[in-house]
Structure 1
Amino acid sequence: MFRTRSPRSHPSEPAAQALRMVKVTRTHGSGDGAVTALDGVTLGLARGTFTAVMGPSGSGKSTLLQCAAGLDRPDGGIVQLDGTEVTGAGESELTRFRRGRVGFVFQQYNLLDTLTVAQNTVLPLRLAGQRVDRRRAVEVLTALGLGDRLGHRPGQLSGGQCQRVAIARALVAEPRVIFADEPTGALDSRGARDVLGLLRSAVRTHGRTVVMVTHDPLAASYADSVLFLADGRLAGRLDAPTPDAVAERLAHLGDDVPAGV
């Protein structure tokens, strides 16, 4: 059953963990049409690490990301994010928590058509009542190739440019944990390299934690480690990944791979 208390810190838990999930389950639908998206997932990710999550379509990747980020409610288990238990929190408490500590990059850009690139980028800061560092925003947008698009609106941008605005929005707020669902899916190879380089820099230079769902072995190779999912369960882990090693592991996910990490 889902708990009904607010997010709370657990001082006794290892402070080095940015994300901790214990026996997390999530089922979509009911009756004969029920689909188990997560089946007792337990994992721990250290602070200041870059983790890629991979697996076949329907393996539970996006559900894991959304439960970990507090955007979806698991049916059972515990989720702790940045040292705080988010399982069972009310929506208003979760919203405040996410605005202060979590960044998101999803396949849907979620940009406001009436705002400019610069305004969309700093919107989370304004909503959270935080100080807006325009110089930092321009710096990140320029690094993503959008320095000459600050006054443009989403309707004047390509899909790849909109995705880069969404990524800049997540980075500018300097969250403790960044969740990214296929962040390079709409980008060409150069744009993808720029984005992955920025995510890796956020980890190595600024100590952020990044959790990224991807289907691309090359993108996964930018991460420190890769978690593999199959049928809603953890099906292995690969440290210091290379594109070839990732592709090889994906090709054998249906084999008897030891579960767990």
Structure 2
Amino acid sequence: MTRQTKALRLDDVRKVHGAGPTAVTALDGITLALPPGTFTAVMGPSGSGKSTLLQCAAGLDRPTGGSVVVDGVELAGHDEAARTRLRRQRIGFVFQQFNLLPTLTVLQNVLLPLRLAGEKADPGHAVAVLERVGLAGRLGHRPAELSGGQQQRVAIARALVTRPSVIFADEPTGALDTRSARDVLNLLAESVRDHGQTVVMVTHDPVAAAYADSVLFLADGRIVGHLPEPTADAVAERMAGLGETAAQRRILEGV
């Protein structure tokens, strides 16, 4: 597959917080390329750079160096208004906190990204997306009337309604019970399998990571491993190894 057909490409992406002796390097030369229709989980010890990677890849934060290309469009070089339009057109977000507006109904929450983008809202398409996530009977309900799993499914529908090329998910099952988490992960996998979208998911849960096609492991802001066709046991074993390495490094740094 050519460089132009990658859904997401990062070339030598770096992110440094602060300057001088107190500077902290969150990302240290990340390079990766993900084809359309793939599901990638990102894992690593606390402080490894997972969330920073997601934020830079999704255009929510500007990297200190390197380039980010989403669906063939370079994120750098645009002003904030253009970056916002690009995110709304090509990128979907699903976070651990559902971020639903409590005064809006389910349908209104799902239609909100289209209204914010200044596009003509298509309630029929929104209803179809809500049917896809199993909430056709909850259109007029407000978030407080839904379970946590149902609220996360609304958030997924909201991310899908703009037909994004790439969906970024940051710990999307972290606040859910086991059954709701499984439903959410199946929906993300379905977006990849049946609709050709690309999903990038940060998670700490080996069971969640096992729903992905492959897992990228981060440590100290670098990609340190890749596991195709992951199983929960294989992911847990790899994470245990990373945790031991991080602990050994902290001991050495404290000497």
What TM-score, normalized to structure 2? Answer: 0.88
Aligned to 2:41: 52
- Indicate the percent of aligned positions where both proteins have the same amino acid: 69
Aligned to 2:205: 216
Specify the SS of the correspondent of 1:211: strand
Aligned residue pairs total 244
Aligned to 1:204: 193
Q: Identify, as 1 or 2, the structure richer in helix.
A: 2
Unmatched 5+ residue regions in structure 2? 246-255
Aligned to 1:156: 145
Matches of 2:122 and 2:189, distance apart in 1: 22
Aligned match of 1:247 in 236, 241, 246?
236
1:119 aligned partner, one-letter code: Q
Unmatched 5+ residue regions in structure 1? 1-12, 257-261
Aligned match of 2:171 in 157, 182, 186?
182
1:87 aligns with 2:76: yes
What TM-score, normalized to structure 1? Answer: 0.86
User: In structure 2, do the counterparts of structure 1 residues 108 and 184 end up closer, same or farther at CA, with 3 Å as the change threshold?
Assistant: same
Aligned match of 2:29 in 24, 27, 40?
40
Matches of 1:191 and 1:160, distance apart in 2: 5
1:126 aligned partner, one-letter code: R
Offset at residue 32 of structure 1 (A): 4.3
Specify the SS of the correspondent of 1:237: strand
Aligned to 1:227: 216
1:121 aligned partner, one-letter code: V
Matches of 1:230 and 1:72, distance apart in 2: 20
Report the aligned-residue RMSD.
1.9
1:84 aligned partner, one-letter code: V
Offset at residue 131 of structure 1 (A): 4.3
Contact 1:73 1:88 in 2 (8 A): no
Aligned match of 1:118 in 102, 107, 122?
107
Moved over 4 A (4+): none
Matches of 2:19 and 2:113, distance apart in 1: 36
Matches of 1:47 and 1:37, distance apart in 2: 27
Residues 125-177 of structure 1: CA distance to partner in whole angstroms, max 9, x if unpaired?
A: 22223343434433433444433332122233344433222111002221111
Specify the SS of the correspondent of 2:119: coil
Residues 72-97 of structure 1: CA distance to partner in whole angstroms, max 9, x if unpaired?
A: 00111111111111123210110111
